[in-house]
Amino acid sequence: MPHSGRPARGHEVTERIKHYILENKMRPGDPLPTEAELCDALGASRTSIREAVKTLNALDIVDVRHGHGTYVGRLSLSALVEGLTFRGLLSPADDFQTLADLVDMRELIERGMAERIINAIDAPQLDTLDSLVDEMQACARAGTSFAEADRSFHALLVEPLGNALVHQLSSAFWDVYAIVAPHLKLITPEDERTTIDAHRRMVGAARERDVSAFVRAVDDHYSPVRERLALARGGNEEQSSGARLGES
């Protein structure tokens, strides 16, 4: 890789490491050269290499295994999840819209790919989805969270598509919503019952290869969430308006 004789800056070294990975057609799990070798290959100081590796590690582009070396990372969406989660928790007054956007994206994936999901999913996967709905129902009756079963349901729903990016995005959006929504008190017991029923109907529609019924069930799954978000935004706007009037 050609580079000038001047010392490389932090961002520049980060980009050089990314380019090195791509140029050498490296895959997740492949070991990167040692720190000294990267210094020689990229024309950078040890300090700038270390800072760049820290940045890339935080983004999951590289994986630092202490005592073993540095490897190409999983390239997951963990940085996206953390960023969106922090944003939603930091400023809930402004970020009900962020949650609404996340719901839009989750629904868009499942609605937009409804026909492909139904054509790709097989009987054993449908049986597993039914078992997950049973688990959700049992948790609701016991008064415990069914978050894990719900996450597994939506992950399995898109898994047959064989699209790794869709799978990661769907799970990432679910993770952010699941972390932020309870803090904003957007989930009620009635919503849980509606959610479980909608999941059951999604599986039934998929078994019947009924795309329209599947889409209706997806709509029914997300509509209570939309209603809660609309109410929360409305209440928040009233509080903000009252606060402004009190200051004037």
- 17 and 100 inside one domain: no
pTM of the model: 0.63
- 33 and 103 inside one domain: no
- Give the CATH number, domain containing residue 34: 1.10.10.10
Q: Which domain holds residue 112?
A: 78-247
Using the predicted structure, report yes or no on whether residue 233 has a pLDDT greater than 90: no
Q: What is the CA radius of gyration of the chain?
A: 23
Please check whether residue 1 lies inside any domain of the structure: no
Please check whether residue 86 lies inside any domain of the structure: yes
- 63 and 171 inside one domain: no
Question: In total, how many domains does the chain have?
Answer: 2
Higher-pLDDT residue of 43 and 4 is 43
- 123 and 229 inside one domain: yes
Please check whether residue 5 lies inside any domain of the structure: no
pLDDT, position 243: 43
Taking each helix axis as running N to C, give the angle between helix 10-23 and helix 46-58, from 0 to 180 degrees, rounded to the nearest 10.
Answer: 70
- 83 and 55 inside one domain: no
Using the predicted structure, report yes or no on whether residue 7 has a pLDDT greater than 60: no
- 132 and 176 inside one domain: yes
CB atoms within 10 A of CB 4: 8
- Residues comprising the chain, all counted: 248
Please check whether residue 4 lies inside any domain of the structure: no
CA angle at 148 for the pair 203 and 191, rounded to the nearest 5°:
65
- 117 and 223 inside one domain: yes
Region at 60 (left for phi over 0; alpha for psi -120 to 50; beta for the rest):
left
